Structure 1
Amino acid sequence: MMAEDSPRAWRAAEFFAGIGLARLGMSKAGIDVVWSNDIAPTKHAMFERNFGTSEDHTFLVEDLGKLSREQLPENTDIAWASFPCTDLSVAGGRAGLHRGIASSTFWHFIKALSKLGSARPPVIALENVTAFATSHSGQDIASAIRSLNGLGYSVDVLSIDARRFVPQSRPRLFLIGTSAPVATMTEPSPLRPDWLVPIFDDPALVTHKMHVPEPPPLLTDGLVAYLETLSEDDPRWWSTERVDAFVGSLSDLQSERFNTLRDGKTGTARTAYRRMRQGTPRWELRSDGIAGCLRTSSGGSSKQAVVFLGQGDVRIRWMTPREYASLMGAPEYPIDGVKEHHAYSGFGDAVCAPVVEWLSVNYLVPLLASMEIDVIPDEARQLEFVAS
């Protein structure tokens, strides 16, 4: 146990690091990320632009499944893993955790923890889309939790929407695992949504529930403050013909919403996605003043448009990379010179930094501190498990 005048320096490893927004959030909570891994060189390049290089941090650009035991981090307190959501999200094919090519990399994480043996960290945090909870009728998340149980971790499940911190609708699921019992875990978390409960055949799969404070309320407005101001002659504004095509694609309900906002006495902004409705592509405006969930740049329907309306005027353009950065809680992230599609992909694949910070301050750090105060030998941690 550390002396009170010598605060504990928590150390974390960031698996599937991407551009490092989990590191950004944890660092604001006093957690040092000392090791990172991702397979994408373009994301590593963005990561290095923001964080630079240092002797006390290692970044391995490599397939996690190919890393040897010697390449994996030791002496860490937390392993954070935002593994790919491609095969779990509604927008993807929903191939699942076992059959999907991207999301099955979760098992590489499990195998990495297994290779570490008794040197694996006492706390893990996994992040993914909320559809993870219902993928294959709940079988995928139950399988994931059983694999973590097999490594000696008890697991808690909770959901947090980035909309509590920034004007972006981005609900995400978090699995928090710990390798030792914690005395403070006596009350169910107020974040635990009721719809998660029925998916577990075995209630014992989720074996600890830590009480955390209520997060900030959900935002319903505020997008305008996160948008860039472009000059009237900026080439990124859509042409009259393109705006007319946008308006022409709106449904009756959407047209009514559009006309009301356009004819309003004050200016406002809404985001819009293009969706297929009965085989026809249609644009749809959000009803509130927040952004839809940011996505990667692949496919035109994945990109989000920003529509400025009011006093009879209409202007439309694509959301900019800088706006992506701001809505992910990283407004100062250096992206000058970064190709647009790399920036869109980097931020669209990431976890929202303020959510990580809040979770770290209110859950992960108190969890680690309580484990250090009340250390209980955990024979289960010595178990070895390799997912097939």
Structure 2
Amino acid sequence: MDLFAGIGGFRKGFESIGGNCVFTSEIDKFAQETYKANFQTNHLFAGDIRDVDTKSIPSHDVLLAGFPCQPFSLAGVSKKNSLGKSHGFDCKIQGTLFFEIARILEHHRPKAFLLENVKNLKSHDKGQTFETILDVLENKLGYKVQYRVINAKSFVPQNRQRIYIVGFREENNFNFDDLIIPDISKGPTLSSVLHPEDGSENFEDPYTIPHLSKVNEKYTITNKLWDYLKMYEKKHRAKGNGFGFGLCKREDVARTLSARYHKDGAEILIDQGEEKNPRRLTPRECARLMGFDKTGDSNFIIPVSDCQAYRQFGNSVVVPVIKEIASLMSKNIFEELILDKIDNLEKCA
């Protein structure tokens, strides 16, 4: 089942090992639009998981969930503190959504699960939030749990650290440390996701224009915004802060793409030389940056506005990372499926 599904990054990863999705839940209507444009949804598709009766969810072997991270992320905690709002499990809207996962795990007892969240989840509230999560998964629900922080920089040209939590219902020989992560220093650069702008790529309206498939001028930031960003960086540099924009060349690796990218694109701006202001990534480049499309491909359907597309890719998981974890988990998942079939045959006999 695909819980807090977003635009299907988890599903795309697990379909690579033969997974078949039987239930999807995603509350955002625009993310639903993108998800349905790219995946078959002839199964139960729910909106807010809090409105779903556990018994109505089909039985499933694997639960996948990138539960909302804003209550635990560094940016989310900072924002909520500044507004005098609670965060983590005290956040009544989003923080309690982990317990929706626990509710489903307790009722259906799937063979395995994979959860994803921001790296800061592990240290949030002096580690108490993560301890609570592990306590629920291990002691209350009885799953054998392992976790690992992985930087997607080994797979895509983006510095993106996330924590992945794997759980199995039965004892097995799964070891998260067996996941081989390519050398981070030898990972891809932005040239692998950017439009080449030399005519070697078919143009794609509205992201590129027919002449040599050049990037549409609308992605070049205005003089006003560029002046503001330079002033903002200068002010914070004087204070010794690290805030500012991220100006990238084709041979660079980007900062983390976030859901706020639609606001000003500051974290990832592509250098276009001294004669021209830098530009934002196009949504197609974001699809490649998150691994939904491979280098040079434009297969993932983006039916929404640029604003919504930026939010969706910024909130997503990195598909190649999920594929690697799925591959590592697959041996144990299939072993448990076989054992279940043998058990059922013995009972029938």
Settle same-fold status: TM greater than 0.5.
yes
Q: Distance in 2 between matches of 1:138 and 1:344?
A: 31
The DSSP-based 3-state class of the residue aligned with 2:258 is coil
Conserved? CA contact 1:18–1:43, under 8 Å = yes
Select which of 183, 192, 199 maps to 1:225: 192
- Specify the alignment match of 2:284 in structure 1: 322
Q: Does 219-228 or 345-354 show the bigger shift?
A: 219-228
- Backbone CA RMSD of aligned residues: 3.0
Q: Distance in 1 between matches of 2:68 and 2:323?
A: 21
Would the alpha carbon gap of residues 220 and 69 (structure 1) be closer, same or farther in structure 2, given more than 3 Å must change?
closer
**Structure 2: gaps (5+ residues):** 79-85, 198-207, 209-213, 294-298, 341-349
Q: Distance in 2 between matches of 1:224 and 1:295?
A: 20
Aligned length: 308
Listed as ranges, the matches of 1:334-353 within 5 Å are: 334-335=301-302, 337-353=303-319
Q: Which amino acid is the alignment partner of residue 72 of structure 2? A: L
Listed as ranges, the matches of 1:1-388 within 5 Å are: 13-54=1-42, 57-61=43-47, 63-74=48-59, 76-93=60-77, 95-100=86-91, 101-114=93-106, 116=107, 119-149=108-138, 150-182=140-172, 184-185=173-174, 209-218=175-184, 219=186, 222-228=189-195, 229=197, 230=208, 231=214, 234-240=217-223, 242-247=225-230, 249-251=232-234, 282-285=244-247, 289-297=252-260, 300=263, 304-310=267-273, 312-331=274-293, 332-335=299-302, 337-362=303-328, 364-372=329-337
Q: Could you tell me how far 1:333 is from its partner in structure 2?
A: 1.3
- Specify the alignment match of 1:383 in structure 2: none
TM-score (norm 2): 0.78
Q: Distance in 2 between matches of 1:171 and 1:298?
A: 17
Q: Could you tell me how far 1:300 is from its partner in structure 2?
A: 3.1
Q: Could you tell me how far 1:303 is from its partner in structure 2?
A: 5.2
Q: Distance in 2 between matches of 1:284 and 1:291?
A: 8
The DSSP-based 3-state class of the residue aligned with 1:174 is strand
Q: Which amino acid is the alignment partner of residue 73 of structure 2? A: S
Of all paired residues, the percent bearing the same amino acid is: 25
Greater helix fraction, Structure 1 or Structure 2? 2
Conserved? CA contact 2:262–2:307, under 8 Å = no
Q: Could you tell me how far 1:42 is from its partner in structure 2?
A: 1.6
Conserved? CA contact 1:328–1:352, under 8 Å = yes
The DSSP-based 3-state class of the residue aligned with 1:283 is coil
Q: Distance in 2 between matches of 1:227 and 1:299?
A: 18
Q: Distance in 2 between matches of 1:242 and 1:40?
A: 29
Would the alpha carbon gap of residues 277 and 73 (structure 1) be closer, same or farther in structure 2, given more than 3 Å must change?
farther
TM-score (norm 1): 0.71
- Specify the alignment match of 1:263 in structure 2: none
Q: Distance in 2 between matches of 1:329 and 1:98?
A: 31
Q: Could you tell me how far 1:213 is from its partner in structure 2?
A: 3.6
Conserved? CA contact 2:189–2:252, under 8 Å = yes
Q: Could you tell me how far 1:252 is from its partner in structure 2?
A: 10
**Structure 1: gaps (5+ residues):** 1-12, 186-208, 255-275, 376-388
Would the alpha carbon gap of residues 38 and 247 (structure 1) be closer, same or farther in structure 2, given more than 3 Å must change?
closer
